[in-house]
Structure formats: structure tokens, C-alpha cells
A and B are shown apart, each in its own frame.
Chain A
């Protein structure tokens, strides 16, 4: 028995589900959704099989970035409640396996994207993977409180990749979709970090509430929200969004601003530990942060779903600027 303690022979065997978890399937599904929106909004006929393969490549590329992130961040993940159950910190998947899976899937997804769609889309996919795994994970995340602001570019690029896969070009409207996600990221993540900051502080990650304090974070969320909502209206002026989109963006934007205003006037993030066990399970003081965090997901999903539906149904865009 003493020997068994010194040289443990019973470790948790890795199941295929653990490897799937390495690919962050929830993030993957969001990336598939935004990538598909970019591909459909391009309004260019592409062979449905090639479109499906391009979307699969975006999904696998995102999964590969997730695996590389989990490989590098295992030390941080081990210290945070939200992430300590991940396969690498929990000891179900070996660190080297996570690295190998990340590298192999990155190469395969980029090569297949180049073959199925075009090399511009493949190049953008490769850039996104490198940006997330190297620039964000290895550098920004541990170095600056602006980590999720700059790193948000990786999460914002999938619609551009989808657009490039369909057309071989990346016009202004593709970058507008990217800008919407880019500007959405800070209020979304900072609202979350207001009630998980203790975890980040423990792990030594310089998230905004840890570095600048809760009051400054709430103020910055408000500033970003006032910049973000007008950008969400822009597609109605550039020939990308139709009347339904304008309605959804305006009404949802109003709610977003109200929630951001309420958060700015709250004391969210100032209690020592604002969170229960679940991601949405917060104590009274942090409810305003939780509400904005939850609504931000709904708002972004609605914006992209509306654009997707309008383009699939052939609803004409407003092009308000052209009038």
C-alpha cells in the first residue's frame, strides 16, 4: 500500500471525451456560428460541401487553439475554480498530448482550408490560431490588463475567415462583423471577471479588476458599451443588415446600455468573493455584472442570428448611407 502511494499505479485513464473537452466545444460552437454568418453574409454561391468543409476547418482550428491554450495554461487553470476540472489540470490528459493534438489539428485545419476554399482563408485561420495560442495565451494573458482587449481579435476573426472562404476577399463589411465581436469582448469578459476576480488574482492573471480595481473596470465597461452599441447599428448603414437587424440591434443595444449603466452604478466586484459554484450563481452585489454578462451573450447571438436569417431569406439590406 505504501508503495502504491509512492508510485501511483492508478491514474485516471483518458477517455475520448477528455480529448474532445480539450477543444473547448462551447467556444467552438460560437465560432462555428459567427464563421457561418460571415460565409453566408458574403452572398456568394459556394459549393455546399466546400462551405461545410470550410466551417469544419474553422471549428477544428478553434479547437486546436483551445488545446494549445489548455496545454500552456495548465498551471493557471489548476488554481481557478472555473477551470481546474479541465482535462490537463485534472490529470486526465497529459500535457504533451494536449500540445500534440493542438499542433496536429492546427496544421490539418489550415491545409484543408487552403485546399477546400482558398489560401487567403487558410492564412487568416493560421493567423487566428497563432494569435490566440502565442500572442494571447503565452504573452498578453499573463502580462497586461489589456489581455482580453487585444486578444479578443482572435475570437473576432472567424466571420472574416468565413467571408474569405466564400469569396476570396475580405471587404469592409467582413471587418465590420469582426469589429462588432472585438468591441463586444471587453464588456463581456470584464463583467464576468468582476465576480471571478478572486480566482484570477490567485492565479496571478492581471485581469482588469485585479489590476485597476472594480470601480475602474465598471467605468471602462460603460465606455466600451457606448462605443460598442453604435458599431452594432452600423451594418444597417453599410448594406449588410436589413430592417429586422436594425430593430434588433437598436432595441438590444438600448437594453445593453441600460445594463451597463446599472452596473456602473453598482458595487459589483467589491465584495471579497461574489460567486457561488456556478458561472451564473452570484451573490446579490454582483447581480448587475452577471446580468450584463448573460445579456451580452444573448445580444451578440441575436445580432448574428438576425444577419444570418436575413441573408438566407434574401431580405434586402437597408443601405441607409447610400440614400
Chain B
């Protein structure tokens, strides 16, 4: 009988896939926030009075 606490190979593979997808999603979100900030504020920041 298999140990319920241990993951099967299929479960490990699925978990790895989920983690990679989540990481990519988070990276995409951070990059999007950065790009949106630069596009929305970029020109104003560059031309602001010093």
C-alpha cells in the first residue's frame, strides 16, 4: 500500500507545473505594473520641474 504522505510522480509533476504557472503569473503581474507605471507617469516624471 502506498504512503498517503508521499506524492506520486504524477502529483509531483503536476505540482511543479502549477508552481511554474503561478510564478510566471506573478512575474507577469509585476512587469505589467512596472510598464503601466512607466507609461502613465513616464512623460510627467521626465518633464517635472526640478
Contact = CB atoms under 8 A, between A and B. Distances in A.
A50 B33 CA distance: 11
Interface size class of A (residues with CB under 8 A): 20 to 34
Interface in B1-42: 1-2, 4, 8, 10-11, 13-15, 17-18, 20-21, 29, 32-33, 35-37, 39-40
A16 B18 contact: yes
Contacts, number: 47
Interface string A115-138: 110000000000000000000000
Nearest to B22: A16
A50 B36 contact: yes
A213 B18 CA distance: 45
Contacts of B40: 50, 115-116
Nearest to B8: A10
Interface in A9-48: 9-10, 13-16, 19, 47
A contacts with B: majority SS = helix
Contact of B18 (A10, A19, A53): A19
Contacts of A13: 8, 10-11, 13-15
A95 to B, nearest CB: 17
A3 B20 CA distance: 34
B32 A16 contact: no
B20 to A, nearest CB: 7
Nearest to B28: A56
A323 interface: no
B36 A116 contact: yes
A16 B17 contact: yes
A112 B11 CA distance: 33
Contacts of A19: 18, 21
Nearest to A17: B17
A14 B14 contact: yes
Interface in A78-118: 108, 112, 115-116
A4 B3 CA distance: 10
Nearest to B13: A13
A14 B22 CA distance: 13
A55 to B, nearest CB: 12
Contacts of A4: 1
Interface of A: 1, 3-4, 7, 9-10, 13-16, 19, 47, 49-50, 53, 56, 108, 112, 115-116
Interface of B: 1-2, 4, 8, 10-11, 13-15, 17-18, 20-21, 29, 32-33, 35-37, 39-40
Given A9-B4, A13-B15, A15-B17, 14 more contacts: A4-B1, A13-B13, A13-B14, A16-B18, A16-B20, A19-B18, A49-B36, A50-B36, A53-B32, A53-B36, A112-B33, A115-B33, A115-B40, A116-B36
